Structure 1
Amino acid sequence: MKQISLIAFLSICLFSTNIFAQKNKKFDIIAYYTGDSKLIDEYEVNKLNQIIFSFCHLKDGKLSVDSTKDSLTIKHLVSLKTKNPQLKIVLSLGGWGGCEPCSNAFSTADGRLKFAKSVKEVSDYFKVDGLDLDWEYPAIEGLPGHLFQPADKPNFTELIKILRSTLGKKYELSFAAGGFQKYLDESIDWKAVAPLVNRINIMSYDLVNGYSKVTGHHTPLYSTNPKEESTDRAVEFLLKAGVPAEKLVIGGAFYTRQWKNVENINNGLYQAGEHFQGADFKNYATTYTEANGWKYFYDEKAQAPYWYNEGTKTFATSDDIKSIKAKTEYVKSKKLGGIMFWELTLDSFRDGMVNAIYEVKTAK
């Protein structure tokens, strides 16, 4: 009897382990996309699992597609699913400057219900797979001048609840989460929200942003000191908060942030400077060249590249092929839900960042 019980127990354990392993084999490559209906055809869509159309906005409290051009783009994105059965198309609300009315609109039960119903209507009309909320940020300051208030935190929870109940289980529901500590601590009730969403897209980039007067890694995998923000720091925080690993998606940056008037100390890293517009990944090979005065460096501890130009006293930080591969390996090792990035039109059409992610994802 004991032997039979033991065999049964071991069988159950093995079965459970297999289910868990299968569950964690799901690794999504998720692209935010700001392009039109034609440009998407230049990319290797077959390597993507989800495309998040960016952005829709609020109009009179409802989810609104801004233009005929955007409508055509969404319809074309949905049509790609015919050839790509793994692909899901999701609409995103907001963005850095696109959620000004959010705090006010979502402050009442009626406002939240009105929005949720509009999401269902728009989703059904376009036959998309769901919604990604990109409210930057509940309860803390985002774009200067945008309303934020302490009530945003519980209101966000209530918003997620009504969205899930209105959309039902078949629709994808995710949100873009700040990857920095203040957001992690103050913006979201993780225990209440995590069970209701399919995934949390951690914006583990812009961790040193355009408002910073000091250079640094803007999208590092690891912190090099206890005060430094990083992808791993955000992931570990959320895992400890009880968020399931398979619901966590980390972020990659397909663009640099740059600072000028940076002295040649420590190759420009962690030095004073003035932020200005960076470059897109597809232009790195012609921008950050020795002929242009740039030197390339890679911080092995942070798993992050950076560039310094002594002649122009300019510093640049981003992801590149090496660091995005490191992030992808990290996703696999931690059994996370995948990797997302901002954004597809910044990549090369072939042999770029998406391809690098895909190669690591599919490697045995």
Structure 2
Amino acid sequence: MRTTLLFIILLTSIHCFSQVIYNDEFNQGINSFQSTTSLTTSLNNNNLTINGNGTSGAWHNIIYDFHNSGTNTTINASSSPKIYLKIKAENSPVIRVDFVDSNGYSTTQFGLTAAPTSEFQIYELNYTDKLLDGGYGGPCTSGPCNVDASQLVQLAFYINPGSGSYFGTIEIEWISIGESLEVEPSLQLDNAKVVGYLPDYRFGVSSQIEYDKVTHLMLCFANPDASGKLIMTDFTQVVQDATTLNPNIKIFISLAGALNHNSPTASYWSNILSNPTQRTNFITQIVNFVNTHNLDGVDIDLEFDLVTVGYSDFVLELDTALDVFNKEISAAFPKVYYDNLTQTALETFDFVNLMAYDGSGFWDSNPRQHSSFAFADENVSFWKTTGNLNGEKLVLGVPFYGHNYNNNQYVTYGEMVAINPSYADSDNIGNTYYNGRPTIEDKVELAYDKVGGIMIWELGQDSFTEYSLLNTIHEKYTALNVTTTGLGSNAATLSSDELTIANNDIIVYPNPVSDIFEIKTTKNIKSVHIYNSIGKLVHSNNSKILDLSNFNQGIYFLRMITVDNENYNSKILKK
């Protein structure tokens, strides 16, 4: 039970142990909100209630004053300018909350929002690097003006900013600044997705990719031509490569990509999305394409200006058409909630890939990390808060590339390692910024705690050596005892029922083995693969008798695939 009613950190010794700068739990009988005629506030059962009567204007706000036991005060949130709310609401409002400093400047340049539901949830609004007044009114007449995080006096709440007219009740259990009062439970799923994108210009390196470490392969990109016909580069060899190493891999076709909004293809998309007849025809083509090529789903990667009118209708209609054939649908999003994306369409996706990279770049002439750990965490919080999606549906994107500010070009991780293998464990060399192995491991841990997996842009940018980032992801999940593909070293994460060949028709002996062992089975074997303890494929054939006499001592993993594509896995100890 919490007993602290209002907490302002004043002592340095306390600050060393907590990052909570301010909090109000509304159980002291103090309401520091300034009610208005259209948005009234009151205290009920130690919660703050906001009641809207439906008459508030588009940019009408209500003000909350920071206070110390009822006396207005100033707080210093320079170290962590983050707002946390535990809140629920009727009728699905969007709530924007801005900091206001003692000069009257407020964080209107970015105006972060939450979309509370009918159940209490914790929302984070992170104003790190976003403390700017856009100059849209008030004392900042020609923005942007810097908001002074050391002199914060108020929070400004906007209910349905830009439209107003909120009718319903909002309940706030507590507000905190700097850090949340409650720790979000770790998700820590037993299984995780490893989603890898492969653009057609990388199809030539497909034979080097370890698909046994990928759960979902996104083949990209398919687009309409001027006549509305779906066009995609042939990927037959890629599918063969992928399914040979991983018969259970899920393969999607990915649509659109980061197209120039002035390109002809962008206009083709706009026409299709906005025209119901063209939309229906194009969806029929997509579904036929998926079925013809025996694919598992469709990924939509329309970005920024390409998310035009009709986008959400396209998502919903495509999902309905795919459902008939038990196919999946996913999307890739940056940290942006598009105007033409409805919540219903967003929640339709089976999973959402977060493009947590390119947060900065050579286009802004300020050399720095484009995909930091903090930026990854911000993306997760954004889509949980603004997107109102649960963590299990989210997949955290990591880059296998970086930005070279010396020549304003992209550089692949593989190219960096080729220059010097020691670069594998760095995040920047001079003015070149990327993600090395330690950061990728940290992001896998973040994904383990908060989301349903890791997404990679893109597989062809890896180093196909012992410094591979894909292998780093695979081994980190295995160390966390999380099942991804269940192949190679990751087979060790499977339950005993999944791991052991327990079928009466299949016997592997002897085990432990010193040289020759045999697979006794009545089933027809398609292939047999042996992986070492780090998941590297070390032997393949289709024989029932295998010779391990030249193998080093240690643990190996056997994977047998039948002609009916049944999979059997077993751990083998080489003496």
TM-score normalised over the length of structure 1: 0.71
1:193 CA displacement: 2.1
Q: Using the aligned pairs only, state the percent identity.
A: 23
Corresponding residue number in structure 2 for 1:159: 314
Write out per-residue CA displacement over residues 162-192 of structure 1, whole angstroms, 9 at most, x where no aligned residue. Answer: 001111162121111113xxx2364533x21
Corresponding residue number in structure 2 for 1:97: 259
1:246 counterpart letter in structure 2: E
Residue from 432, 437, 445 that aligns with 1:321: 437
Corresponding residue number in structure 1 for 2:333: 177
Choose between structure 1 and 2: higher helix proportion: 1
1:243 CA displacement: 0.6
1:38 CA displacement: 5.8
1:307 counterpart letter in structure 2: I
Runs of 4 or more, structure 1, over 4 Å off, are: 35-38, 295-298
CA RMSD of aligned residues (A): 2.8
Whole-angstrom CA distance in 1 between matches of 2:214 and 2:372: 23
Corresponding residue number in structure 2 for 1:194: 346
- The aligned length equals 286
Query: The residue matched to 2:354 in structure 1 has which SS?
Result: strand
1:29 CA displacement: 0.7
Corresponding residue number in structure 2 for 1:285: 417
1:212 CA displacement: 1.9
1:75 CA displacement: 4.7
1:259 CA displacement: 1.0
Residue from 291, 295, 299 that aligns with 1:124: 291
Q: Are residues 350 and 172 of structure 1, via their aligned partners in 2, closer, same or farther at CA, if it must alter by over 3 Å?
A: farther
Q: Are residues 42 and 89 of structure 1, via their aligned partners in 2, closer, same or farther at CA, if it must alter by over 3 Å?
A: same
Corresponding residue number in structure 2 for 1:339: 454
1:296 CA displacement: 10
1:167 counterpart letter in structure 2: L
1:285 CA displacement: 2.6
Write out per-residue CA displacement over residues 325-349 of structure 1, whole angstroms, 9 at most, x where no aligned residue. Answer: 1110101011x12111111111122
Corresponding residue number in structure 1 for 2:199: 34
Whole-angstrom CA distance in 1 between matches of 2:207 and 2:239: 13
Equivalent residues of 1:62, 1:114 under 8 A apart: no
Q: Are residues 96 and 73 of structure 1, via their aligned partners in 2, closer, same or farther at CA, if it must alter by over 3 Å?
A: farther
Equivalent residues of 1:28, 1:339 under 8 A apart: yes
For the pair 1:63 / 2:236, whether they are aligned, the reply is no
Q: Higher RCO, 1 or 2 (CA under 8 Å, sep at least 6)?
A: 1
1:217 CA displacement: 1.5
1:31 CA displacement: 0.9
Structure 2 segments unaligned to the other structure (5+ residues)? 1-185, 481-575
Q: Are residues 187 and 235 of structure 1, via their aligned partners in 2, closer, same or farther at CA, if it must alter by over 3 Å?
A: farther
1:234 CA displacement: 1.6
1:306 CA displacement: 2.2
Write out per-residue CA displacement over residues 120-142 of structure 1, whole angstroms, 9 at most, x where no aligned residue. Answer: 010011111111111122xx4xx
Give matches, 1:297-308, under 5 Å.
305-308=427-430
Whole-angstrom CA distance in 1 between matches of 2:367 and 2:277: 44
Query: The residue matched to 2:195 in structure 1 has which SS?
Result: strand
Structure 1 segments unaligned to the other structure (5+ residues)? 1-20, 141-147, 223-229, 261-274, 299-304, 309-314
Equivalent residues of 2:194, 2:216 under 8 A apart: yes
Equivalent residues of 1:202, 1:251 under 8 A apart: yes
For the pair 1:50 / 2:216, whether they are aligned, the reply is yes
TM-score normalised over the length of structure 2: 0.46
Query: The residue matched to 2:271 in structure 1 has which SS?
Result: helix
Query: The residue matched to 1:205 in structure 2 has which SS?
Result: coil
Write out per-residue CA displacement over residues 55-108 of structure 1, whole angstroms, 9 at most, x where no aligned residue. Answer: 111122343224xxx24345535xx33652431111111111275132222112
Equivalent residues of 2:319, 2:348 under 8 A apart: yes
For the pair 1:240 / 2:385, whether they are aligned, the reply is yes
Corresponding residue number in structure 2 for 1:353: 469
For the pair 1:86 / 2:86, whether they are aligned, the reply is no
Query: The residue matched to 1:33 in structure 2 has which SS?
Result: strand
Whole-angstrom CA distance in 2 between matches of 1:238 and 1:117: 30
1:22 CA displacement: 10
Q: Are residues 287 and 245 of structure 1, via their aligned partners in 2, closer, same or farther at CA, if it must alter by over 3 Å?
A: same
For the pair 1:114 / 2:281, whether they are aligned, the reply is yes
Corresponding residue number in structure 2 for 1:133: 300
Corresponding residue number in structure 1 for 2:240: 76
Equivalent residues of 2:197, 2:457 under 8 A apart: yes
Whole-angstrom CA distance in 2 between matches of 1:289 and 1:358: 20
Corresponding residue number in structure 2 for 1:6: none
Whole-angstrom CA distance in 2 between matches of 1:130 and 1:296: 34
Whole-angstrom CA distance in 1 between matches of 2:289 and 2:345: 23
Equivalent residues of 1:29, 1:339 under 8 A apart: yes
Query: The residue matched to 2:299 in structure 1 has which SS?
Result: strand
Query: The residue matched to 1:24 in structure 2 has which SS?
Result: coil
Query: The residue matched to 1:208 in structure 2 has which SS?
Result: coil
Corresponding residue number in structure 2 for 1:231: 376
Corresponding residue number in structure 2 for 1:212: 364
Q: Are residues 135 and 82 of structure 1, via their aligned partners in 2, closer, same or farther at CA, if it must alter by over 3 Å?
A: same
Q: Are residues 237 and 22 of structure 1, via their aligned partners in 2, closer, same or farther at CA, if it must alter by over 3 Å?
A: closer
Equivalent residues of 1:43, 1:350 under 8 A apart: no
> Which one has a bigger Cα radius of gyration?
2
